[in-house]
Structure 1
Amino acid sequence: MRDMRAEVEWFLDAIALARDVGALAMILGEMTSRMGFSHFALTHHVHILDAPNAGIRLHDYPEAWVDYFDTHRLGLSDPVHRASHRTSAGFRWNAMPDLIRMTPADHRLLELAHEHGLTDGFTVPANVVGEATGSCSFAIGPGRALPADALQWAQLAGIAAFEGARRIWLAGAVPPGPRPCLTDRQRDCLIWAARGKTAWESARILGISEETVVRHLKQARDRYGVEKQTSLLIRALFDGVISFSDIFWR
C-alpha cells in the first residue's frame, strides 16, 4: 500500500498548479488510480445537453454509460446526486438508502450502472450556495473491491479537485452581475411568507401594517426581476439570502 498521506500532498500541490481542465483531469485520473479506484466523475448536477457551459464536468466514466445518462436527462434525478444534497461528508453508494428514499427506478439505474462497469463507488458532495450543486465521485469496476482504507483520502481529494475545477471554470466564465440584495425587512417578510403566513398575519407578527408587508414583498420581487412570490423564494434560497432552516424553524 502506498503512503497515502504523501500521495494526497502530491495531489494537492499538483491541483494548485493546474491551469486548465485537461491538466486537472490528468491529475485527478492519476490520483484516482493511486487510491485504488477505477473511474472518477467531477460534475455540477445539471442537464449537460441543455446547458453544456453551465457547469463543471470532468470524468473518465464509460462512454456508453455517459451517453445513456445524458440522453435520459439524469443530471438532477440520479440518486447519487440526490443523496449528495443531504450530507456534507463523502458516502459509499451502498449507504444511499440512509440518505434518501430509494425508488424502484433508482435501484434499476444502479443496476444499469453496474452493467456498464460502475459496480460501486464513493461520492464527495460539493455544494456551494449560489451555484448548481455538485459532487466528485470515485468508482470501481467489475472484480474490484472498494478501497475502504482510502476513503478518508478520497474525501480530501474530492474536495480539493472540485475547488480546483471551480477555480479554473470561474476564471473562464463571464463574470456574473451583482446579486440582488434584500433589506432586513424584505427578508423578514419573505421568511414569514415562506412559512405560510398571509400579509395580514405577517404584519401582526412584525408590528407593521399589512400594506407595508405587501410593499416589501413587491420591492423584493422587483429587485430579483420576478413576478411570482414562488420565484422570489426560489431565487432567495439559491442565493443564500434565506435558508431552509429559516423557513422550517422549530
Structure 2
Amino acid sequence: MAIRLAEVRSFCDSVSAAKSPDALYDFMQDITARMGFAHFALVHHVDTAVPATGTIRLVDYPQSWMDIFEERRLYAADPIHRASQQTSVGFAWNNVEALIALSPRDRAVLTAARDVGIGDGFTIPAHIPGEINGSCSFATASGVGLDEEQLPLVQLVGNFAFEAARRVNRSVGSHPRELPRLTDRQVECVALVARGKTDWEIARILGVGSETVSQHLKDARDRYGVTKRTMLAMRALFDGSISFADVFGR
C-alpha cells in the first residue's frame, strides 16, 4: 500500500497537535497501516526492565516479541539498534549487514523476530545531542516485503513522529534524562576501555600516568553511577558518549 505526500502532511499536522502519548500512539497505528506496515516502535534505546523518566517507548510489536526482547535484554544488543548508530538516515533491515557485522547471536535475534510474525522493516535513527539514542521503526508482517519507492516518505514520518514524542514528553512534564557529561580525556579513556585496554596500556597510548587514567575512569564511573569498567563502557556506548566507530574504528 503506497502512501501519498498529502497523507504524510496530514499525519505531521496531527502529531504536531497531539496532547498525550495515547493520542500519538493512535496516530502512529493509523499511519503505520496506511504505509502498509503491521507494527511500529518509537523508542529510546534503554533498558526496558528499568524504565527511566522521560524516555520514549511507544510500541505495538507482538507481545511475544516484546517478552523475548525484555527477557534477553536486547535493548543493548539488538542489531537494528546497533546499526542505527552507524547512520543518520533510514535503512531497511535487509541491508543491516552493510552497516554492522552480524554475529551468530544477531542472526538468532533476527530469526526470532521472524518466528513471531515480524517480517522486513525500516528504521529511522534519532540522534539528538545530549539525549539517549533512539529510533522509529516500522515492520511488515511476515512474508511481506518493503515498498522501496515510498521509503523517503516513511523517513519523513519517522522523523516527525520522534520529534512529536519528544514534544509530548515535554508537554506532560516528562523531560529526557540528562546524560552524564564526560570530559574529552574521560571519553578517550572509556573508549580505550571498550577496546579492552588496561589502565597501563591506556596510559602508554595517551602519554599520561597510570594513576591519572585510573582517576579519569573513577570519575567517569561516578558520573554514571556504576562500579564496573564493563558497565561504564556499555553505558557510554549506548548513551552515545562513545560510538562503535570509537571502539572498532572505521
Q: Give the TM-score band, short-chain normalised.
A: 0.7 to 0.9
Structure 1 stretches of 4+ with a deviation exceeding 4 A read: 174-182, 189-200, 220-228, 237-240, 242-250
Alignment of 1:147 with 2:130, yes or no, is no
Any gaps of 5 or more consecutive residues in structure 2?
193-201
How far is the alpha carbon of 1:12 from its aligned partner? 0.8
How far is the alpha carbon of 1:129 from its aligned partner? 2.5
Q: CA 1:77 to 1:120, structure 2 compared with 1: closer, same or farther past 3 Å?
A: same
Tell me, yes or no, if the aligned pair for 1:191 and 1:247 is still in contact at 8 Å.
no
Alignment of 1:126 with 2:120, yes or no, is no
AA in 1 matched with 2:121: G
Superposition RMSD in Å: 3.9
Alignment of 1:158 with 2:155, yes or no, is no
Query: Counterpart of 2:74 in 1: which secondary structure?
Result: coil
CA distance in 1, matches of 2:35, 2:27: 12
CA distance in 1, matches of 2:175, 2:139: 33
**Could you list the per-position Cα deviations for residues 124-154 of structure 1 after superposition, in whole angstroms to 9, with x for gaps in the alignment?**
1112222221111110003422122221111
How far is the alpha carbon of 1:77 from its aligned partner? 0.5
Query: Counterpart of 1:119 in 2: which secondary structure?
Result: strand
Query: Counterpart of 1:49 in 2: which secondary structure?
Result: coil
Task: Give the aligned partner of residue 73 of structure 2.
Answer: 73
Alignment of 1:98 with 2:98, yes or no, is yes
CA distance in 2, matches of 1:68, 1:225: 27
Q: CA 1:84 to 1:74, structure 2 compared with 1: closer, same or farther past 3 Å?
A: same
Query: Counterpart of 2:137 in 1: which secondary structure?
Result: strand
Task: Give the aligned partner of residue 205 of structure 1.
Answer: none
Q: CA 1:16 to 1:97, structure 2 compared with 1: closer, same or farther past 3 Å?
A: same
Query: Counterpart of 2:160 in 1: which secondary structure?
Result: helix
Q: CA 1:190 to 1:83, structure 2 compared with 1: closer, same or farther past 3 Å?
A: closer
Alignment of 1:207-246 (within 5 A): 221=219
Q: Which has the larger radius of gyration?
A: 1
Task: Give the aligned partner of residue 51 of structure 1.
Answer: 51
Tell me, yes or no, if the aligned pair for 2:41 and 2:136 is still in contact at 8 Å.
yes
Any gaps of 5 or more consecutive residues in structure 1?
203-209
Q: CA 1:34 to 1:227, structure 2 compared with 1: closer, same or farther past 3 Å?
A: closer
TM-score, with structure 1 as normaliser: 0.75
Tell me, yes or no, if the aligned pair for 1:129 and 1:238 is still in contact at 8 Å.
no
Task: Give the aligned partner of residue 174 of structure 2.
Answer: 173
Alignment of 1:85 with 2:108, yes or no, is no
Query: Counterpart of 2:136 in 1: which secondary structure?
Result: strand
CA distance in 1, matches of 2:59, 2:83: 19
CA distance in 1, matches of 2:35, 2:142: 17
CA distance in 2, matches of 1:227, 1:73: 18
Greater displacement, 136-145 / 157-166: 136-145
Aligned residue pairs total 235
